[in-house]
Each structure stands twice: as structure tokens, then as C-alpha cells.
A and B are shown apart, each in its own frame.
Chain A
Amino acid sequence: MTIIDKIRTVDTSGVPFAMKDRLHVPRERYFDRGFFELEKERLWSRTWQMACRLEEIPEPNDFTEYEILDQSILVVRQQDGSIKAFFNACRHRATQLERGAGRLAGGKFVCPFHGWQWNADGTNRLVYGKTGFAPECLRPDDLKLRECRAETWGGIVWINMDPNAGPLRDALHPIAGKLDEVGIEHMRVKWWKEVILNANWKMAQEAFLEGYHVMQTHPQLTMGMGESYPADTGADYLVYENGHACFQRKDMGAGGFATVDQMLGFYNLLAQGMDAQILDRDIHVLETLRNNLKPGEDVMAASARVIREYNEATGIPMPAGAELKPLYWGGDAFVFPNVFFLPYYSNVLAYRIRPYNNDPEMCRFDVWSLTTYPESHPPVRAKLLGRFDKEDADRWGLIPRQDFSNIERQQRGLHTKGYEGHRLSTEWEGGIANMHFELDRLLSRE
């Protein structure tokens, strides 16, 4: 029995526009307002989701705001280094206490309206003009900021608005374990940007659940192969419980590069086209292979060797055996509901896609280039470089611009008369069906 078949033992017939099989996705799931509201109530309000990276709030009293639909949550580093998350509203008359990212100087939240104050742990410190309130309005438990569940994994703070939710690691099983093997917890932000797309959040992320689009969307990456480029991109497609999925190199020996030149040619395209996954640092290290390849040594194996040698010499942490994991080689791991990690060597390209502006046909798309720094590297607070237009060629490499363009055209195409829904490949698009089946399972919860 496949994972999808197991999921199908849950009765999802009450979900509007439900998935009926793994071959089709009804189009309404990407624009229907009722479906979107159901997602808001039963998915986003009750599911573990990425709120921020840990290095956004490295020091005590650092905070950042996580926005999802009509909810705003403040994630705050505590004095002991732990993390708390609070719903962002003054207990007096609902004013949002903070916006964006910053630091609580003196460790206090202060309402900008009437000056009520809270400590960083959410306990009330001051009600200005206290004598003017009835005692029943000032019960200490009622005055505490409302807390939201927060746990950490993979260098990330995850929140869940459901106080009865199970542990984070259960929800992330088994994909978190696979990412642990390639050293995800060592990764830090190199850069972070965002874009707003006119597309449903699921539509936007489905482009990253398959590599089947590479031949036509990113022709430069096929190195001139055209339609002889393998539709499976040499990858195994795997789907898991809890909605997770990944694709990764099928064969660790073959399917690599015949020569160092060929490898560097491809890697330069990635470094220039994305400034992620393969970085200039890697190119410099791998250039040494031009005179350093051992007789008969496989090019990919040699690249792993010199990267590990470089990491060990410079104090860059790397798990034992990381290079033996297929995901290490340009794999793509999807963490339900909306985060992606694309590891390559000691780097990761990461995405998060969430609804924007309470509009089923808009999404807010974060892109991170993560890398592993030497352990001696001082921690630097990660900051969003900005929100950039999808066509801004100074800010986005060719690869993401190619992806963004097709995503918006898909969303427009959905509304075309005569279009009923997607038809999916059983071989390369199973991750998309798997995500929708998990979504239906959650939407049918009481």
C-alpha cells in the first residue's frame, strides 16, 4: 500500500473540491474563497509552520514578527536563550505591540497607544493608570500576552496556533531526519529576499516539487541537450507521510559529470543564475581539481573529497557521511505545508511560500541562500534584504525569474474556460498529489 493509499483511508469527502485520485487536481483548490477559508481555519491555524530562522533573533530580547493571513505572531528570544511566541495584540484594546523585526530594549514590550508594558516572557509589567480599571479587567493571567506554541528544528523556529497540537518532530517526520543527515542545523543565512506573486501559495510551490520543468523552463541548465534531457533529471521521486516529499540523485556513481570542466561549467551556471546551492567559495575550491584529480577518480567523488578537505581545514562543520546521502547532491526536500530545502554540498537554497493579503490568488515567497560558516564565524543577525519585483534582474538570478514567470501564467490559465484541473505525472509529480492529499486529510479534521 502506498503512502497515498494510506492517507485515502481517511474520509475526505466532506472537503470541497476534494482530491479524488493522484492524477488530477481540481482547479478550484487554487482560487475558491471557501476552500481558502477552510485552509485558514483547519490548516494554517492548526499546523506546525516556519515562523523565522533562529539567526533572525540571535540575542536575548531580539524579536521578529511572523505574519500568516490575519494572524501576527511575535517570536522573542528569552534571557536564557529559549524562544517564546506571542499573539501580537495589546490586552487592553488590541493594538499590535510591534511590527517587523527589532529588539526589546530593556526587555519590555510597550503598547504605543496607552503605554501598557510586558516583559519579554509575556508577563504584564505595567498598566498605566491602573486605578481607573475594575479589578476583573486586571487579573494577572488575563493580562499575560497570549502565547503561541513554538519549537525549533533545523535552525528554524516553528509555531503552531493549536495549543493541543502534537510535538513538532512528529509532524516533520521523516523529512527532518533526512535533512539532519546533510547538516541542515549548521546552515546560516547568506542572503534573504522576498517576492510577491499573483498566484495561489500551492500553485507557486508546486514548481519546486518536481524537476520535470527544467528542460523547458531553464534550458540553460540542460547544457544544450534539449528534449534529450532526461525528464526525470536523473532523480528519484519519493513521497512520505505527513505530506512531505523529496527528489534526489538516483545514482551516486553515474549521472555525474565526465570531466572537471563539465562540472565547473554547470556549477558556474548555478552560482551565477541563483547565487545559492553552488557559491563562489565552492567554485574556488573545486577549481583546484583541475590539477588535483587522482587517476581514475570519479569527478563527483573528487568534488566531495576536496569540499570535505576544505571544510575540515577551515572549521566548517559537516556531518559524517553527508556526501553519501543523495540529498547532498542538489536534492530537493519539501517540508509540508510550505517550506523547501535544496541542499548542495554545504549550502542550501530554501523557500517558504505563504498566502498574502488574505487573497487566494496572491502569495508571499521568501528565498534564502544558506551556507555553512566556520564555527568561529561570529553570529550575524539575519535581515531581509527586501521585497523585490519578480522581474528585477539586478535582484533575482535568471533561474528564479524563469520560475516566477511560469507560476503567474499558470494562475491566469486556471480561470480559462474549459480548463477543469491539472493532470499529473505519476512518475515525477507525485509530490504534488501527496501534498494535496495531506491537505485534504487536515481539512477534513473536526
Chain B
Amino acid sequence: MPLVAVEPGGFTIQVNKGEALAEAAWRQGYTWPTTCWGRAECMACAVVVIDGVDATIPPEPEETDAMNQRLSRYLRQPQSRLACRLKFSRDGAVVEKKGAHPPQDPTD
């Protein structure tokens, strides 16, 4: 089960094979920004993969098209991904996501 590190929160999260990062977060009670809940619509869950890109599974056209249409070009970076579509083949990826935090975090 791949382990993914999340910055700047400094926590790791377990993601099942075949499961998207945001879904793994929601399933385990983490807070992960969204307004569309996994429909690749709202772009609020977007992350930047800052390390371990080779542990990620490349995006399908649906994800790329959604980012092309709706992710502001000022926010988009070469390693931008949608957490509601981002899946992993193994440990080692590090993503940057502000506003994501584990359960029982007092700021929740």
C-alpha cells in the first residue's frame, strides 16, 4: 500500500492501490479541500508533486483535459495533478497541498 508524504503539513497518508489520493484522505477522515467531491470538476484538490514523480501513475486524458480547462494557469505547474485522480504505484511520492490535514487536527 503506497505511502505518500504531504507538505507543508508534514504527514504521510496510506493510499490503496487503485485508489486516488483525495479518496484515501476522505476515507480515513483527513481533511482535503474540495467542492465537487471527486468529480474532477472543482480543481480545489489539486496538488503539486514535488518529489517521487516516478511513484505516481501518469494522468488519464480526463484529468489533463479537466486541468487544461479549469485549473488557473497562474496556479498550474508542470507537476500539477488532481488529488481526486492521482494514483500511485509505490511509496516515495511527496506532494504539496495547503489546507490538507489529518483527523483530530485542532484546526479542523
Contacts and interface: CB of A to CB of B under 8 A. Distances in A.
A106 B35 contact: no
Interface string A85-111: 000000000000000000111111010
Nearest to A105: B38
B23 interface: yes
Nearest to A112: B41
B20 A105 contact: yes
Contacts of A117: 37
Interface string B11-47: 0000000001011001100000011111101000000
A424 B59 CA distance: 60
Contact of B38 (A106, A112, A115, A128): A106
Interface string A398-427: 000000000000000000000000000000
Contacts of A128: 35
B84 interface: yes
A111 to B, nearest CB: 10
B37 A104 contact: yes
Interface in A108-166: 108, 110, 112, 115, 117, 128
Contact of A110 (B23, B26, B27, B37): B37
B22 A105 contact: yes
Contacts of A115: 35-36
What range describes how many residues of A lie at the interface? 10 to 19
A231 B35 CA distance: 62
A107 B34 CA distance: 13
A295 B27 CA distance: 61
Contacts of A108: 37-38
Nearest to A128: B35
Given A105-B26, A105-B84, A110 B35 contact: yes
A106 B41 contact: no
Nearest to A108: B37
A110 B36 CA distance: 6
A105 B23 contact: yes
A112 B42 CA distance: 10
Nearest to B20: A105
A407 B39 CA distance: 41
B2 to A, nearest CB: 18
Contacts of A104: 37-38
Interface of B: 20, 22-23, 26-27, 34-39, 41, 84
Given A104-B38, A106-B38, A110-B37, 8 more contacts: A104-B37, A105-B23, A106-B23, A106-B37, A110-B35, A112-B39, A115-B35, A128-B35
Closest 9 CB pairs of A and B: A105-B38, A106-B26, A108-B37, A106-B37, A110-B37, A105-B23, A115-B35, A105-B37, A110-B36
25 contacts: A104-B37, A105-B20, A105-B26, A105-B37, A105-B38, A105-B84, A106-B22, A106-B23, A106-B26, A106-B27, A106-B37, A106-B38, A107-B26, A108-B37, A108-B38, A110-B36, A110-B37, A110-B39, A112-B36, A112-B39, A112-B41, A115-B35, A115-B36, A117-B37, A128-B35
